[in-house]
Amino acid sequence: MLRGVLPIVPTPFHADGTVDGESFDRVIEYGIAAGAHGLVFPAIASEYFTLSDEERRSLSQRLVRRVAGRVPVVIGVSSPEPEVALGLAKQAEELGAQAVLMLVPAVFAKAPEEALAYIRSVSRAVGLPIMLQNAPAPLGADLPVDAVARICREIDQVRYVKEEGAPSGQR
């Protein structure tokens, strides 16, 4: 079970736009030293949408290796393409992540049934708990509360919600 503070690990970049792996390692160590109860990567704050699938895979692997079991790791598998999300979720499970983070992509903003099917497809392929991320546009679907509640009721693996819709406290 995840609990406590699980910050999003940002992706540091060099001036030329390439990923700065050494700074990535320092950010990981800082999070653990600061008392984080777990680490999450990649997510919106990690600028996952600017990373190639290979960069996401290699940095997720680097994170798990660097953490070395000291705190739980949640791997973001968000993608508007279900096959990509599925492949990233399988990799997260193979790496030993404790959960996956799934953003409901903006393409499902007007299609809660399709969002449910999308999340269900990943839940059936891996045994990890899912943290559902409900974020506003332009990246997220900003699903209404009843759609989020239905997803949580119908998919047992959805055990956490990262609600970002406004006002998130009431949601």
Model pLDDT, residue 169: 74
Q: State pTM to two decimals.
A: 0.93
pLDDT along the chain (171 residues), means of 10: 95 96 98 98 88 93 98 94 92 96 91 92 95 91 93 96 82 75
Burial of 15 (0-12, 13-18, 19+ CB in 10 A): exposed
Query: What pLDDT, on a 0 to 100 scale, did the predictor assign at position 37?
Result: 98
Q: Please give the positions annotated as active site.
A: 162
Q: Residue 163 is inside which H or E element, if any?
A: strand 158-163
Q: Is 70 helix (H, G, I), strand (E, B) or coil?
A: coil
Q: What pLDDT is attached to residue 132?
A: 96
Instruction: Give me the torsion for CA of 72, 150, 138, 119, rounded to 10°.
Output: 60
Torsions phi, psi for 163 (to 5 deg): -85, 125
pLDDT for 71: 98
Neighbours of 117 (CB within 10 A): 12
